[in-house]
A and B are shown apart, each in its own frame.
Chain A
Amino acid sequence: MTELLFNDAEWDFSTLDRTFRAIEDIAINELGLDVYPSQIEVISSEQMLDAYSSMAMPLMYSHWSFGKLFAREETLYRAGYAALAYEVVINSNPCICYLLEENTMPMQALVMAHAAFGHNHFFKNNYLFQQWTDAEGILDYLSFAKRYVSACEERYGREEVELTLDSAHALMNQGVFRYRRPPRPSRERQREKVRARLRYEEQAHNELWRTLPVGVDALAAPPVDDADETETGESKLPEENILYFLEKNSPSLRPWQREILRIVRSLAQYFYPQRQTKVMNEGCATFIHYTIMNRLYDKGLISAGALLEFLHSHTSVVFQPDFDDPRFSGINPYALGFAMMADIKRIAEDPTAEDREWFSGFAGTGDYMAVLRNAWANYRDESFIEQFLSPHLMRKLRLFALHDKAGAGAYQVTHIHDERGYRNTRATLARVYDVALADPNIQVARANLQSSRTLHLTFRPHHGVPLHQSSKEQVRAHIQRLWGHEVELEDEGAD
């Protein structure tokens, strides 16, 4: 019989360390996770509130909106309406996890498994995070941003900086790149092009041309398609990253304002993958902590009491009320993510005939971790649901799809969890998680830089859903402040 890692609810640093090693052993050697090194910080509840109100980052520039958030969170917390999160984890290398000092030892173990291995593995391996975020550099960048903003405040006045930040924040959701641009051609490729052109000229060389009288030009080589050579990044329209466009092209911004726009834009980009992977990220962390805690118990490292405490907290985290329950407030990403991943495990280990038909790729292979690791690495919420939500789980959750038409008196049930509805219900649910559809599609269409300097934006509605009227005007005013001249927002759905 191995000795328990801990006996009671109290924790100290040596117990934390011992437990961390035991968890690490399971995570790396049994589950095959691939994580950044962790840096675990114990903080007080007040510091947790601090972290909440600065976008959950350890460093952040100063802005009144963070103060507003803090005031709200603090009031809610003090009045007992809201409990604090058990942990906050930061996508950085080393991966920083905050543990709340008030947690009991079983909770600390749960949180370490959840954050330091679950989220950490996801951050390191998911393609969106790999493509768009720089875990190595984020803390340095934030400390640069903080210093830069405060230096600007000192130099140009707090008011000025605040106005710029306000406007930039208003455009945060319109400040991300959704698709990677084609990479800039390397020098080697450019040389290759020049050589190709010379080769063509050599081949097309004709002695006869030399006999022409002086003053007549030789026939030039046919124009080469060099689109990506002229693309220098400026005024390539339409452009959906409005912040980027303003930063590069606004006729009225001063250099420091451009840098501030760039800071806000970089942060928006850094957080964009998290918005797209809520279900997967939380599901992954929840599944991993569930697996690890159970393994700890199986190996005789934690007591039954600790396991029960863990299960109590775990079940309340993955609780999903029905839509007609007064507690319902949307689909709980923890619940959906965990249920799907547990379902993948079931399909891999013990599939039914239906599962074999739907998931012939991995049903019954037994190695569920390989399937999950692949899913965590290569999918986001939308594609993950589209690919892996099984009929079995849809029946279990009793999912059904509805159609909502503005102005109609009722929602229409379009598909339910039956043979005919599985695919459509699943597709509907997947689409709900498509961030690109949730954000309004607004692009910079034209910019008149010569005369009137008017900036034209277009809004292209999806399925006729209009923009919220009053906020639209307010944000337009913010864009106008950054652009410095007239801004027009054309609504293509208006007619």
Chain B
Amino acid sequence: MTHFIDRRLNPKGKSLGNRQRFLRRARAQIRDAVQKSLKDAAVGDVDKARKIKISTRGTAEPRFRLDPAEGGERDFALPGNKEFTPGDEIKKPPSGAGGAGKDAALSGDGEDDFEFTLTQDEILDIFFEDLELPNLIRTTLKEMSQRSWRRAGITTTGAPTQINLPRTMRNSFSRRLALRRPSRAEISALEDELEALLSTSPQLPEQQERIAALRQQIERLDARRKWVAFIDPIDVRFNAFTEQPVPTSQAVMFCLMDVSGSMGEREKDLAKRFYMLLHLFLKRRYERVEIVFIRHTHDAQEVDEQEFFYSRQSGGTIVSTALDKMLEIQKARYATADWNIYAAQASDGYTQSGDARRCVEMLDAQIMPLCQHYAYIEILDEREMEVFASEESGAELWRAYRALASRWSNFATKRIAKPSDIFPVFRELFRKEVSG
């Protein structure tokens, strides 16, 4: 007896448990690989599924195996001899791979690199891990943009559960009226009359005529009741719903960074994560997010992302030029009525003397009233971090910004030396989000 079973509808993801076990197992390698691939990723692309390559060191599955390349002798047979006779020699390929040796290469060395695709969730998990985001925020960030079901009138098709009864009955009633569907009472009145006439024993000719007419009429009405249905499919109406995005507005994110010689590879990498995190947050909150990259030395330029992170410029450091540039761009392209404005500034804390005061003035007077949030990070190395253990001490820019932060609640400053320091800059921002 043969059984055919359709398994296609069985629940999917049977291997999910194993996949999670594997990811946990290869955690260290995967994290390195993800960090590396994030380094090359665009700020806006953090939360995309991506292919990564890890070495198999941590997930090797060793077995005892023979190593014929190392010593000993063996015999084997191959197909496709065209020219050889016993005693001939075939040169081994230089790497030792070739002929049957290929097999060893396939099962052994070939495994050193292992490439597979991580999903968006898995990537974000790893991205957040370094940043030490609180769990609640991880989940709110991972959620897709919000959509909700809204009523969208009445349709003629739909699921039986969504039948709109009042509408359906109203249609049915008007159709029955229009087509003059005889009512039950109408027929039973005629039937009663017929009954009465039939029970009279001597029937007059006119009575007999009446009986025949009544019978005909009842028959006609019955037929009419049959073809004018009580509820016809054309009466039925359904409630319709459509999925609509929750109305959100658009935001622009200004990334400001000092690119003078003092900002090295490490500083830029930290800054990049800072921007990535802000972008993730904004993306979740706004339907549309634009990013503007402004780099500055002693003068500021708007550049593309590639140039922003990877090219260097020499020159002094005047922070206020970047603020000027930002204002200029904002006025030209991002009217406050349409855009929510966020700014994120990264710097190593040095600026020309006297410039800090100018920055504060600009921020106070022009920029802060425009911005939803302004985040400033000062990237130090670990040693400096110890020197500046107290929030009070610091370079000119830092001290000036500290004063500013006490006046504006949407201005955040933080000194960072490692990825896990970044998040507190946004704490205020996320708190609002989580509670709201």
- Seen from chain A, the residues whose Cβ lies within 8 Å of a Cβ on chain B are 13, 16-17, 20, 24, 37-44, 46-47, 49-50, 53-54, 62-68, 70-72, 74-75, 78, 94, 98, 101, 116, 158, 162, 166, 169-170, 172-174, 320-325, 328-331, 397-417, 420-421, 425, 428-429, 431-432, 438-440, 442, 461-472, 474-475, 478, 493
Give the docked Cα–Cα distance between A174 and B65 (Å).
Answer: 11
Known: A402-B76, A409-B92, A466-B72. A53 touches B64 (CB 8 A): no
| Chain A nearest CB, measured from B292 CB (Å) | 36
Contact B21 A464, beta carbon cutoff 8 Å: no
B89 at the interface (CB under 8 A from A): yes
Known: A410-B92, A421-B86. A464 touches B73 (CB 8 A): yes
| Chain A nearest CB, measured from B322 CB (Å) | 43
| Cβ contacts under 8 Å, A429 to chain B | 76-77
Known: A42-B7, A404-B73. A62 touches B66 (CB 8 A): no
| Cβ contacts under 8 Å, B66 to chain A | 438, 440, 465-468
Give the docked Cα–Cα distance between A41 and B3 (Å).
Answer: 8
Please count how many residues in chain B sit with their CB below 8 Å of the partner chain's CB atoms. Answer: 66
| Chain B nearest CB, measured from A13 CB (Å) | 5
Contact A428 B77, beta carbon cutoff 8 Å: yes
Contact B74 A463, beta carbon cutoff 8 Å: yes
Q: Of B12-20, B228-236, B333-341, B360-368, which stretch is located at the interface?
A: B12-20
Give the docked Cα–Cα distance between A242 and B147 (Å).
Answer: 59
B166 at the interface (CB under 8 A from A): no
Give the docked Cα–Cα distance between A331 and B100 (Å).
Answer: 9
| Chain B nearest CB, measured from A399 CB (Å) | 5
- Of all chain B residues, the one with the shortest Cβ separation from A459 is B64
Contact A428 B76, beta carbon cutoff 8 Å: yes
Q: Of B22-30, B131-139, B424-432, which stretch is located at the interface?
A: B22-30
| Cβ contacts under 8 Å, B74 to chain A | 403-404, 463, 465
Give the docked Cα–Cα distance between A466 and B99 (Å).
Answer: 20
B80 at the interface (CB under 8 A from A): yes
Contact A323 B68, beta carbon cutoff 8 Å: no
Contact B86 A13, beta carbon cutoff 8 Å: no
Contact B71 A406, beta carbon cutoff 8 Å: yes
| Chain B nearest CB, measured from A346 CB (Å) | 19
B78 at the interface (CB under 8 A from A): yes
13 A–B contact pairs at CB < 8 A?
A13-B4, A20-B4, A62-B18, A62-B21, A68-B59, A72-B116, A166-B61, A329-B102, A403-B73, A404-B75, A428-B75, A461-B72, A465-B66
- 9 tightest A-B contacts by CB? A322-B80, A67-B22, A464-B72, A465-B72, A67-B18, A474-B62, A71-B116, A64-B21, A323-B78
Contact A75 B51, beta carbon cutoff 8 Å: yes
B10 at the interface (CB under 8 A from A): yes
Interface string of B46-77 (1 = CB under 8 A from A): 00000100000001111111111111111111
| Chain A nearest CB, measured from B21 CB (Å) | 4
Give the docked Cα–Cα distance between A46 and B17 (Å).
Answer: 15
| Cβ contacts under 8 Å, A438 to chain B | 66
| Cβ contacts under 8 Å, B120 to chain A | none
| Chain A nearest CB, measured from B154 CB (Å) | 38
Contact B63 A172, beta carbon cutoff 8 Å: yes
- Of all chain B residues, the one with the shortest Cβ separation from A321 is B80
B117 at the interface (CB under 8 A from A): yes
- Of all chain A residues, the one with the shortest Cβ separation from B18 is A67
Give the docked Cα–Cα distance between A406 and B108 (Å).
Answer: 18
Give the docked Cα–Cα distance between A171 and B4 (Å).
Answer: 38
Known: A67-B21, A72-B116, A404-B68. A465 touches B73 (CB 8 A): yes
| Chain A nearest CB, measured from B187 CB (Å) | 49
Contact B71 A40, beta carbon cutoff 8 Å: no
| Cβ contacts under 8 Å, A421 to chain B | 86
CB < 8 Å neighbour of A412 from B5, B7, B87: B87
Give the docked Cα–Cα distance between A317 and B80 (Å).
Answer: 18
8 extra interface residue pairs, beta carbon distance < 8 Å, beyond A400-B81, A404-B75, A425-B77: A41-B4, A323-B78, A398-B82, A400-B78, A412-B89, A417-B81, A429-B77, A463-B72
Give the docked Cα–Cα distance between A40 and B88 (Å).
Answer: 52
Give the docked Cα–Cα distance between A413 and B87 (Å).
Answer: 5
| Cβ contacts under 8 Å, B85 to chain A | 413, 416
CB < 8 Å neighbour of A399 from B19, B59, B81: B81
Interface positions, chain B 235-264, Cβ under 8 Å from A, are none
Give the docked Cα–Cα distance between A66 and B321 (Å).
Answer: 56
Contact A49 B79, beta carbon cutoff 8 Å: no
- Of all chain B residues, the one with the shortest Cβ separation from A169 is B61
B434 at the interface (CB under 8 A from A): no
| Cβ contacts under 8 Å, B99 to chain A | 323, 402, 411
Contact A405 B73, beta carbon cutoff 8 Å: yes
| Chain B nearest CB, measured from A473 CB (Å) | 8
- Of all chain A residues, the one with the shortest Cβ separation from B100 is A330
Give the docked Cα–Cα distance between A4 and B124 (Å).
Answer: 55
